[in-house]
Amino acid sequence: MDVTIFSDVEQLSRAAADYIVRVAREAIAARGLFTLALSGGSTPKKLYSLLATESYRSQIDWSKVEIFWSDERCVPPDDPESNYRMANEVMLSKLPIPAEHIHSMPADQADRDAASVAYTQEMKRTFGTDDVPQFDLIQLGMGPEGHTASLFPHQPSLREQQRLVMPVSVPKPPPDRLTFTPRLINAASHILFLATGAEKDEAVGAVLEGPYQSDEYPAQIVHPTHGEVTWMLDTAAAGKLRKQK
Ligand SMILES: O=C1O[C@H](COP(=O)(O)O)[C@@H](O)[C@H](O)[C@H]1O
């Protein structure tokens, strides 16, 4: 695992954008395709807007990028709480990505089980596999209580063994969500965690340096079988780490 601490969100976001460019270019050179799952929340907003600027835009062949989401709130896509809406506003609408490569989660469907199954099928079709899709990169955030994607402490989703995407009800509004399960996340080639702000310092310390208790700190469940994990933190989020990496 690689952990880097940055002095501010600007530096962190630039490093994250550079990292995404590198992984994207390697994937496109190797297989002609880059599969990326985004997170929501506020932390990646700066990163996403940087990727839409000319200097980053020109470094990736966006026609070869397939975009998914690791979790989504069950709200319409134009709702201020929608993870899709944030990414679309600051990044996707400004990039030359074919519309059919942008796979938003159908989280506003009334039948959330059916929506999860449909999203899983769409993913498998895109990856051309009937097995567990192996994302080139899943970008994740973490909440102050250690949740990641919409995998929250003590929830059955942490023990899900079969499904790749599932509906959950979580303690943070809006409560109804769809989320990637650990089985899908842990198949990825690269995981990039971003965490900023002092309100996350305890969870960062517990996840990175504490005993393994993924039921308390779901971000600890992220251990890709054949992939690498990179954490990018700002100094505030890293404040409780004993070893300043
Ligand atoms: O609810 C969510 O929270 C996490 C963390 O969000 P942040 O605002 O603290 O950056 C996010 O990664 C997840 O995608 C989102 O749905």
Asked whether residue 243 is domain-assigned, the answer is no
What are the tens digits of pLDDT across the range 128-159?
Answer: 999 999 999 999 999 999 999 999 999 999 99
Is 98 a residue whose pLDDT tops 70? yes
Q: Which domain holds residue 222?
A: 2-234
- Does residue 241 sit within a domain? no
CB of 91 closer than 8 Å to CB of 52: yes
Specify if 85 maps to a domain. Answer: yes
- What is the rounded average pLDDT for all residues in the chain? 97
Q: Rounded to two decimals, what is the model's pTM?
A: 0.97
Is 142 inside any structural domain?
yes
Measured between alpha carbons, how far is 133 from 68 in angstroms, rounded to an integer?
A: 12
**Is 52 part of any domain?**
yes
Establish if 242 belongs to a structural domain: no
- Within 6 Å (CB) of ligand 1, which residues are found? 39-43, 71, 83, 140-141, 143, 149-150, 172
Any domain includes 16:
yes
Please give the pLDDT value at position 242: 87
Q: Which atom of ligand 1 is nearest to the CA of 200?
A: 9
Whether 211 shows a pLDDT value over 70: the answer reads yes
Enclosing H/E stretch for 190: strand 190-195
Distances (CA, A) of 28 to 2, 39, 54, 151, 232: 23, 21, 19, 30, 24
Substitution site in 71, 75, 178 for ligand 1 pocket (most atoms within 8 Å of beta carbon): 71
Establish if 244 belongs to a structural domain.
Answer: no
Per-residue pLDDT, 244: 64
pLDDT surpassing 90 at residue 245: no
CATH number of the domain that residue 144 is part of: 3.40.50.1360
Average pLDDT over residues 25-33: 98
Q: What's the total number of domains in the chain?
A: 1
Q: Of 9, 38, 42, 43, which is best to mutate to test ligand 1, by the most ligand atoms within 8 angstroms of its C-beta?
A: 43
For the cut 80, the answer to whether the pLDDT of residue 117 exceeds it is: yes
